[in-house]
Amino acid sequence: MRCVFALLMALVALPVRAEESAVQLKSAPGLDKVEANCGACHSLDYIPMNSPFPNAALWDAEVQKMIKVFGAPIDPADAKAITDYLAANYGS
């Protein structure tokens, strides 16, 4: 249900988003998992915007929150790849 709501909100925001430039994340192993899983529900701008603060444990907590609290349908192997990518490329 939450993903349906997120999809509807994304469709409403499309005209505004069209004027923004796409965020360019660091190319590294796991980027494909981040783009496919994280980018499905929210902007990837959050990653570089918040990157001065999280360490590996905080990135792991964020990924787990997306799965357990918000119901993100992320496979456990993908969750590890996402956390590893974020910690290696956007960790403090």
Per-residue pLDDT of the chain (92 residues; tens, 9 = 90+): 666 656 556 665 655 555 556 789 999 999 999 999 999 999 999 899 887 889 999 999 999 999 999 999 999 999 999 999 999 999 88
Distance, in Å, from the CA atom of 76 to the CA atom of 70, rounded to the nearest integer, reads 15
**Cα–Cα distance between 66 and 84 in angstroms, integer?**
16
Take residue 55 and report the two structure tokens written for it. Answer: 């360490």
To the question of pTM greater than 0.85 for the whole model, the response is no
| Domain 2-90 bears CATH identifier 3.20.20.140 | no
Provide the CA 24 distance to its chain's centre, in angstroms.
13
Amino acid 72: pLDDT: 95
Positive or negative torsion for Cα 31, 34, 39, 45? negative
Distance CA 66, CA 6 (A): 13
What are the residue ranges spanned by the domains of the chain? Answer: 2-90
DSSP 37: I
